[in-house]
Homo-oligomer: A and B are copies of this chain.
Amino acid sequence: MAVKHSVFDFQAPEKDLRNDDLLRNQLFEILRKYHTRGPVVSTELEDGKSCLYIFVGKDGGHWTLRSFPTGLVTLDVMQCGKEESGEELSVNKDQLKCLAKEMCNALLPVKSLHLPPINRGADINTYYPTLDDLLIQYDFDRLVYETNSPHQNIKVLHSMQFGNVLILDNDINLAESDIIYTKTITGSGREDFKDKTILILGGGDGGILNELLQFSPKFVTMVDIDVDVINCAIKYLRGICGDALDNLSGEHHKVHVDDCVKHLQQYITEGRTFDYVINDLTAIPVTKEPRGSLWEFLRLILDLSMKVLSPSGKYFTQGNSHNKPDALLMYEQQLAKLSCPVQYRKEGVFVPSYHEKWVFYEIWKTDQSPNS
């Protein structure tokens, strides 16, 4: 069963639903026309200025008509249907449009709003808010894959416009259509990776590895903690990883399934450096080991990365939502606290499957003496 919740707003400051019997009866008549019974509940609210009526639909859904002191009249229509399995709702989309029109004719609002129905209790959740908490509905039509790895919940949902979309711990990670993400986190075409050594932190979806291998790098090392993400990408996210993950090691690349902090520390001990370090870790660390706050973890990764970065090397990372200026500023403040001085540039691009503009950073050491 799916519950469809349709939301209607009417801003009608001249109308007093509570004291205008004629208007109230007119609205009740309209609602009854759409096969509701009632009102089964009629109640004045304690402010003495607003009222609330509940109607019951023949499908067992309930309709709530409410007035507010400012003249806002809201109607919430909760319909029960089996639409997910093809069964029609008792009041369909066109009828709801007519209902809105009839309500407008009665209330003569200065403005009105009728939103697409919210799916309550649907089999597949299609709502994933942006980082700045905007409500975004996706066109997900099918659960392709789901598992709980030792590190996180891994889900792949299918979207008509994005292809398969990787979701980690309920966070939209990357879609097959998001080549812009991969292009941006590898420098938007400004870099020449030929004969270079590159370290990818995270990147289990294989997008960055697949991109870099096309430019004849000397060697790409990738360290991702979650083999289940890698295996999921190989099977369901080929639009992202291509065939790059089909062999975890080759002449020009090696994928380690491990904690990248361990590897970074090992490279430092060995004195091994890279021309590029690309941090594609999830924003919130998935490792179970306690490492202090999120910001401390970020700084730890940054500090270790700077130590394995060759003096003229570059560090790329995804940052945060363009609409979170405070978080971006806080990140930039961390950069000032690193054990070596760095400079940075940032670039904002709209990542389609994120439904928001995302900021990426390019960071380099300004003091170019080794291991400074």
Task: Using CB atoms and an 8 Å cutoff, list the residues of chain A in contact with chain B.
Answer: 1, 3, 5, 7, 9, 11, 37, 40-41, 43, 45-47, 50, 52, 54, 56, 60, 62, 64, 66, 68-70, 72, 74, 76, 78, 80, 93, 111, 113, 115-116, 118, 120-121, 125-127, 129, 132-139, 160-161, 177, 322-323, 348, 350, 352, 355-357
Contact = CB atoms under 8 A, between A and B. Distances in A.
A249 to B, nearest CB: 35
B43 A60 contact: no
B357 A7 contact: no
Interface centre among A70, A121, A125, A129 (most CB of B within 10 A): A121
A136 to B, nearest CB: 6
Contact of A139 (B120, B132, B161, B177): B132
A115 B135 contact: yes
26 contacts: A1-B68, A1-B72, A37-B46, A45-B60, A46-B56, A46-B60, A47-B60, A52-B54, A60-B68, A62-B66, A66-B78, A68-B80, A68-B121, A72-B120, A74-B78, A74-B121, A115-B118, A115-B127, A115-B135, A116-B129, A116-B133, A135-B135, A136-B355, A161-B323, A161-B357, A177-B357
A356 B50 CA distance: 39
A15 to B, nearest CB: 13
Nearest to A59: B47
B139 A113 contact: no
A3 B116 contact: no
Contacts of A93: 133
A356 B43 contact: no
Contacts of A68: 1, 3, 60, 80, 121
B50 A60 contact: yes
What are the 10 closest A-B residue pairs judged by CB atoms, nearest first?
A72-B121, A350-B352, A161-B357, A135-B137, A134-B137, A116-B133, A1-B70, A47-B60, A116-B135, A116-B129
Nearest to A355: B355
Given A3-B74, A72-B3, A138-B134, A56 B45 contact: yes
B136 A115 contact: no
A3 B10 CA distance: 12
A76 B74 contact: no
A62 B133 CA distance: 23
Given A1-B69, A3-B72, A60-B68, 8 more contacts: A9-B120, A11-B121, A40-B43, A50-B60, A132-B139, A136-B137, A161-B348, A352-B357
Nearest to A160: B323
A7 B120 contact: yes
Contacts of A134: 116, 126, 137-139
A120 B161 contact: no
A177 B356 CA distance: 12
Contacts of A7: 5, 118, 120
Contact of A161 (B50, B60, B322): B322
A118 to B, nearest CB: 6
B43 A160 contact: no
A115 to B, nearest CB: 6
B60 A139 contact: no
Nearest to A37: B46
Contacts of A357: 161, 177, 352
Interface centre among A11, A120, A127 (most CB of B within 10 A): A120
Contacts of A138: 134
